[in-house]
Structure 1
Amino acid sequence: MRDSQGLIDPEALLVTAAQMGLIEQELFAHGFPVAALMEKVAGKISQRLRELLPPGQKIGLLVGPGHNGADTLVVARELWQKGYFLIIHHPFRSAKELTLAHKTYAHYLGIPEVENLQELNTCDVLIDGLFGFGLERELAPELVDLINTVNGWQKPVISIDLPSGLHTDTGQPQPVAIRAQRTLCLGLWKLGLLQDVSQEYVGILERIDFDIPAPAICKILGTAPALTRLTPRAMIQALPMPRPTVIHKYQCGHLLLVCGSRSYPGAAVLAALGARASGVGMLTIAVPASIKDIITLEVPEAILIPCPETAEGAIADLPGELTAYDFIAIGPGLTRAAQRMVQTLCSTHLPILCDADALNILAPWSGKRPGFTLLTPHAGEFHRLFPQFNLSNRLEAAQQAAQIAQAVILLKGARTIVTTPDGRTAINPDSTPGLARGGSGDVLTGLLGGLLAQGVKQGRDLVALTQAGVWWHAQTGLWLAQQEGELSVHPQRVAQHLGQALVQICEKFRDETVPFLIRF
């Protein structure tokens, strides 16, 4: 995630609870008082809440026993002094010393505190400050009841740092969690906020930056953080654009796309349209001879290889030499009847992407193949490939699979994970459920294949290009959903609008400033 100057955007950093705790301890050990950090953080939270909440609303605050609760009480003080009407609920018999001090001052100011949770049901909005990062154990029964009651009210809730009840790292509810409308993450992004399982709890995510100094981050995360979050800045930089003024098609990569069957000609069309949008210089498509004309009509510029077919209408064999291609993408629409051809291709040394039925044919995965390998499973395909790994923790399972297979694993989901054999892992933070449709993955396969063919030819970082392709595909889905609604995000529309969406997305992010960059 570093640029050519060795700078990194804090928006790209993801931390575990242990790492965030060590970063804070580093600050405290070098003379930054806990109370001073709390004042700074709470001041920034208060400023954001004043932007979000118009005066006149009645605000209820759920106050925890630790420093997250203390932050919430400082926020209460700041909002009260700006004329907001508040009530506090602190459902704990004990609390940390600093939390109790802020509670005492809140009483002095006259901020009402109520013992009966039901009195918060009269509020217009709730601020959840029960727990911040570090929650790793199951909640007590009385807190489970409290959270279930609050969720049952279906009121707008803004959570500070994480929705209370979520495990900081896995995103799993313990066993329940606040369903927030918005979460204000403090300092650096917490891993649990970007897990698939947490998405129904976190709402709109924002990061409240409080200027963590670079030395503290570097000491704990190292000079090359292994866990990152995809950002527009880094992804746009990774894409092969703009092109040099003088360039020819063979310098822009040659992709062989192996796809389709008599039963699934549309999958080949969608993958071809995705590859076209990537800007790849040359596109060759190998399909069963019986569907050749369908592909030609849709992608007339492609070179077509009509392949001999099995009795089921799948590719039986791939004629000709493979030396002309920079990259091979196989899988969309093949059916499992293409087994012999897939196994032959995977035994070569050429860089390859395997998706869909190519993955099913290769399952369960055994051993390392020669050459760069990218596997792009959804959850079902992942389970067939790597039945030994439990997807209850998607990130850990993907990392283990990448290490065992010595391949790059792209685990699809609401928050897609890209991880490498050496543990370098990135999560795509934004997508749309509109992409949850048959054919979306075919478009992604073609797009990635085209980008990686360019990457091989031009000596680019193939992992960074994989991440950029995932981000571009998801951003196009989001752009279409905003333009036309989620139900209009069908694969053909995504493929047709990849280029237009990228132009709009680049324009949108060009004017966004990065608060500060860390020099590693």
Structure 2
Amino acid sequence: MPMTPSPLVQRAVVTAAQMEALEARLFAAGMPVAALMEKVADRIAQWIETHYSLAEFPTVGVLVGPGHNGGDALVVARELHHRGYGVHLAYLSDRLKDLTAAHSIYAQHLGIPRVQTVTDLEACQLIVDGGFGLGLTRPLMGDIAAMIEAVNRWSIPVVSIDLPSGLDTDRGLPLGATLRATHTLCLGLWKRGLLQDAALPWVGELALLPFDIPAADIAAVVGATPALQRLTAATAIAQLPLHRAPTVHKYQVGHLLLVVGSTRYGGAALLAGRGAIASGVGMLTLVVPESLRLTALAQLPEALVVGAAETATGAIATLPPTLDWSQYDAVACGPGMTLDSTVFEAVWTCDRALILDADGLNWLAQESAVKRLRDGQRPAPRDHRAAPTLLTPHPGEFRRLFPDLWQAATDPTAAAEAAARATQSLVLLKGARTVIAPGDGRVWINPDSTPALARGGSGDVLTGLVGGLAAQHLQGEFADSPNAALLAAALGGVWWHAQTGRAIADERSVLGANPSHLAAALLPSLALVQKGEG
């Protein structure tokens, strides 16, 4: 099997055009197209042999497309044939590129049977999809669509080469009929479309099969530090404040202010507080409605809890008059507050690094709409803050904040990047594949999460966690670079939160990650990672 890919190869995410440019560089440098096809197909065949043994999957159906994806499939078919598998070929087109046609002729020479129709593959134990891969631009329709839809109706595992046939390389959207893969073996470098929420129903489990692209060629096309990156464990862990001086004390590892909660949504305040405590922040102050103060004290004994005057509906009406912003390294605001709260303006205009979530974002969306109507313009939400800002919307909140950007964007990745640039803020767009965009052209996508986190309150835990990490960074390594502190907190927090959800789902099923347990499991899951056990 191929060696573990380099950190650059694990991180870099490319478009179809960039991947084609990389391959063109290899071919121009003397790498024969046929040699690369052999190399790639051998690695695919090895992967299949490891994951789908001959004993359990003795017959394999191979879908052959007209281009080089079909050529890869034919070489894979040949290698599996030599290893004892019963291989059957189904062609999606009779018009083949020259190299693909040559492999087809040799497969015929070896006696690998070609079936008349795709439905003849239904007796196979495994399907290899080598139909249409990188750079597909036209919808798959007609007879090809019918063949793909037939395979989708079967209960047979499907391994797609590079991308499932019918999937847009860059956007992850289905182009007409699209094959639903059990596994997708991404070749060379990660394709942008595979890491989009829209691709999840089609790609199954993802695996990267690198083929030794020289680092110099990768850097020439996407840069030594790619603008679009997959968030890896190594990158995320490096952003966590896991190392402390032996003489450090609580006032040197960050003080976070959480402005959260209402009598209607008191649980959100507690969950955000638990997320912050799990972050390891040195000091935590909660501002909650006075009617929640004693409950918060009982549930969060580690925190300093300050009761605030409240509205008739139990929302925070005013911030405590003794509040001194200079005491805090970071402020997180929004979970559970409701739009009846009247303190968002004061929080927004403070001079501290701010993490704004939930009703804080809904307030911001209302303010933006009013300003657009009043000025007849399309400004970014509110005026730009002087201090660093992290906005953490889910898609619904994002659409309310940035309706035009959401509509114009090709995917959530592009939407988050556009919003970050427009607002001069860091944007953390939550989803199955959370996107983190600091507004300077760089974007990270967290590739691994779980639907177990689709629970009310999971985002509140994340807000507290990221806020606590940000406060620590602002006292530590990134004291002179507050924007970098927020970015590090977002990268580390998003990954840590998602990995904890995945660990809970593995242990307790997808139904088991209730937010209270999620907050309690944050530290044990991180400890396992540090020990190399998770």
TM interval, shorter chain, is over 0.9
TM-score of the two chains, using structure 1 as the length reference: 0.95
Moved more, 245-254 or 490-499: 245-254
Alignment pair present for 1:494 and 2:510: no
Unaligned runs of 5+ in 2: 1-5, 369-380, 479-483
Number of the residue aligned with 1:456: 474
The share of aligned pairs that are identical, in percent, is 49
Q: Distance in 1 between matches of 2:273 and 2:477?
A: 23
Q: Are 1:227 and 1:425, in contact at CA under 8 Å, matched by a contact in 2? A: yes
Partner of 2:332: 329
For residue 131 of structure 2, what is the amino acid of its counterpart?
L
Contact 1:286 1:305 in 2 (8 A): yes
What is the alpha-carbon distance in structure 1 between the residues aligned to residue 51 and residue 302 of structure 2?
51
- Find the aligned partners of 1:133 and 1:243 in 2 and give their Cα distance: 46
Q: How does 1:279-298 map to 2 (within 5 A)?
A: 279-298=280-299
Q: Aligned equivalents of 1:66 and 1:509: distance in 2? A: 43
* Aligned equivalents of 1:88, 1:367: Cα separation in 2: 61
The equivalences for 1:272-283 within 5 A come to 272-283=273-284
Give 3-state SS (helix, strand or coil) of 1:305's partner: strand
Q: Which residue of 1 aligns with 2:43?
A: 44
- What amino acid does structure 1 have at the position aligned with 2:522? L
- The amino acid that maps onto 1:270 is L
- Which of 345, 348, 351 is residue 349 of structure 1 equivalent to? 351
TM-score between the two structures when normalised by the length of structure 2: 0.92
- Comparing 290-299 and 7-16, the one that deviates more: 7-16
| 1:345-494 paired onto structure 2 within 5 Å | 345-363=347-365, 364=368, 365-390=381-406, 393-460=411-478, 461-462=484-485, 463-494=487-518
The residue correspondences of 1:244-283 to structure 2 (distance < 5 A) are: 244-283=245-284
Deviations 1:93-151 (A, max 9, x none): 21111000011110011100112111111111100000121112212322221111110
- Count of residues in Structure 1 that have an aligned counterpart in Structure 2: 503
Tell which deviates more after alignment, 388-397 or 492-501.
Answer: 388-397
Kindly provide the CA deviation profile for residues 226-285 of structure 1, in whole angstroms up to 9, marking residues without a partner as x. Answer: 100111111111110132222111111000010011111110000000000000011011
The residue type equivalent to 2:116 in the other structure is E
Show CA shifts across 1:196-236 (max 9, x none).
01101111111112111111100001122110011111111
User: For the Cα contact (< 8 Å) 1:414–1:433, is it kept in 2?
Assistant: yes
C-alpha distance in 2 between matches for 1:506 and 1:73: 43
Shift of 1:9: 3.5
Measured after TM superposition, the shift of residue 8 of structure 1 is: 4.0
Output the amino acid matched with 1:249: K
Q: Distance in 2 between matches of 1:262 and 1:84?
A: 64
Which amino acid in structure 2 is aligned with residue 351 of structure 1?
A: A
The letter for the 2-side match of 1:115 is Q
Counterpart contact for 1:232–1:509, Cα < 8 Å: no
- In structure 1, what is the Cα distance between the partners aligned to 2:7 and 2:227? 13
SS at match of 2:273: helix
Find the counterpart in structure 1 of residue 28 from structure 2: 29
Asked whether the equivalents of residues 140 and 178 of structure 2 are also in contact (C-alpha less than 8 Å), the reply is: no
Matches within 5 A, 1:118-137: 118-137=119-138
CA distance in 2, matches of 1:329, 1:348: 12
Aligned AA (2:40): V
For 1:234, the equivalent position in structure 2 comes to: 235
Gaps of 5+ in 1: 1-6, 511-520
Deviation string, structure 1 residues 58-93 (Cα, Å, up to 9, x no partner): 100001111111011111111111111010011212
The 1-side partners of 2:15 and 2:187 are apart by 13
- Quick one: distance in 1 between partners of 2:244 and 2:181? 44
Q: Does the Cα contact within 8 Å between 1:233 and 1:509 map onto a contact in 2?
A: no
Letter in 1 for 2:336: G
Superposed CA RMSD: 1.3
**8 Å Cα contact 1:415/1:428 also seen in 2:** yes
Structure 2 partner of 1:514: none
TM superposition shift of 1:388: 1.0
